[in-house]
Structure 1
């Protein structure tokens, strides 16, 4: 073996008999960097990504592998909400470079419903989420951040009521009542001004 390579062993899968796992020896350059993935969709320069939680609404995430010599057997994707809940999204072949998934369909598997929140997507290989970083092997990626929202059903304006408004603020939501109160107040102010002027005029002739 040349001086600039180091031997590494990667498990490629179970043997045909199902008893033991077969292994393949691969050569990783001693100068190799830590392996990883670079997110390509959404682009790093794109605006914040918001996705709808609804039927037939699909999300596509894509990536490229860099400095990965030991091709993973599988990739696991898990979304973590800012509130703390985690959602297993999928486990896909290690050679995959994108995933198309639906938050709505994930919910149908019995997981806790997605909240309208910001999420971080974690992607790791078959070594697990706590695998030690190693040259030539894929490191866990937690660089994909996105947001999910749930569309609200349409409500006609004429049937809308403000459930959180106080009695005072409800006046402002009734144009007729607001006009009546405004007119009455203007009349009272005008009448009071006339009475003051009339009283002041009489006093000046004494």
Structure 2
């Protein structure tokens, strides 16, 4: 080998030898061999030593922390417990009251009849009743179809002749058997004096009205009993008695009308009998 060639080979070998360590240097960031052979390593962890949390001081400004007083804690717990019990008790009472009220309320079917009265004084079989104005009159009755008892009742007597209403009792307590005593002498000389006429007894709920539509099971306006009142006349001997509707002229006219009616009826019978060949 020539000296020139030998020198060139030595220079080339020395260049390769000088560059060879850099190819495997791990600290060289631009070395491609490092990345290929060893791969990229992520050194994200801090090299600084981790700091440990210092324990908090149990005192602030040299004063110890204030701890909860067990008495106050127990008192608060007891108060909360008592409050909870009170609320539970009140809720229970309110719920119980509401349940009791709801259980007491009645549900009445709409097809049930309204309440009324049935007279026992006078009895229903006694027939029409007439009372003298100025006397005491007694009425008594039982309730029928009554499912809701009214708190009180009003009792009236009405007359269609003078369109007057006479108060017998107001806000009378309700009993199993109703009863009223009426002193007719008090209404004898009132602004609307009692007449010799027929009257109707009214018994109805004080919280309702006479013209109110009766509800099922509730007391309606009981107005089925009618009675008569009359004004007594002075005694007149028979010989002095005169009938305004029984004079002679009136009697003659009545007899004539009766005779004509009988004659017309008899003639009609004869005509029909002859027409059918009875003669």
Q: Tell me which interval the TM-score lies in, with the shorter structure as reference length.
A: 0.5 to 0.7
Q: Is residue 2:170 matched to residue 1:91?
A: yes
Higher strand share: 1
* CA displacement at 1:83 relative to structure 2: 1.1
Aligned length: 142
The structure whose Rg is larger is: 2
Q: Is residue 2:185 matched to residue 1:104?
A: yes
Equivalent residue of 1:142, what SS?
A: coil
Q: Is residue 2:156 matched to residue 1:78?
A: yes
Equivalent residue of 1:140, what SS?
A: coil
- Corresponding residue number in structure 2 for 1:48: 128
1:15-73 Cα offsets, whole Å, 9 max, x none, are xxxxxxxxx8753343454222222221111121010112xx21111111123233222
**Relative to 1, partners in 2 of residues 1:61 and 1:161: Cα closer, same or farther, differing over 3 Å?**
closer
Q: Distance in 1 between matches of 2:124 and 2:248?
A: 48
Q: Distance in 2 between matches of 1:35 and 1:145?
A: 18
Contact 2:108 2:217 survives alignment (8 Å): no
Runs of 4+ in 1 over 6 A off after TM superposition: none
Decide which of 170, 193, 197 is 1:117's aligned counterpart.
197
**Relative to 1, partners in 2 of residues 1:42 and 1:162: Cα closer, same or farther, differing over 3 Å?**
closer
Equivalent residue of 1:45, what SS?
A: helix
Contact 1:78 1:122 survives alignment (8 Å): yes
Q: Distance in 2 between matches of 1:71 and 1:134?
A: 12
Higher helix share: 2
TM-score under structure 1 length normalisation: 0.58
- Corresponding residue number in structure 1 for 2:228: 147
Higher relative contact order (CA closer than 8 Å, sequence separation 6+):
1
1:117-171 Cα offsets, whole Å, 9 max, x none, are 111112211112122311221011111100001111123456x374959x988xx
- Corresponding residue number in structure 2 for 1:59: 137
**Relative to 1, partners in 2 of residues 1:149 and 1:168: Cα closer, same or farther, differing over 3 Å?**
closer
TM-score under structure 2 length normalisation: 0.44
Q: Distance in 2 between matches of 1:161 and 1:45?
A: 35
Gaps of 5+ in 2: 1-100, 250-279
Equivalent residue of 2:124, what SS?
A: coil
Q: Distance in 1 between matches of 2:241 and 2:133?
A: 26
**Relative to 1, partners in 2 of residues 1:164 and 1:148: Cα closer, same or farther, differing over 3 Å?**
closer
Q: Distance in 2 between matches of 1:52 and 1:77?
A: 20
Q: Distance in 2 between matches of 1:60 and 1:67?
A: 23
- Corresponding residue number in structure 1 for 2:214: 133
**Relative to 1, partners in 2 of residues 1:27 and 1:77: Cα closer, same or farther, differing over 3 Å?**
same
Gaps of 5+ in 1: 1-23, 170-206
User: RMSD of aligned C-alpha atoms?
Assistant: 2.9
**Relative to 1, partners in 2 of residues 1:111 and 1:71: Cα closer, same or farther, differing over 3 Å?**
farther
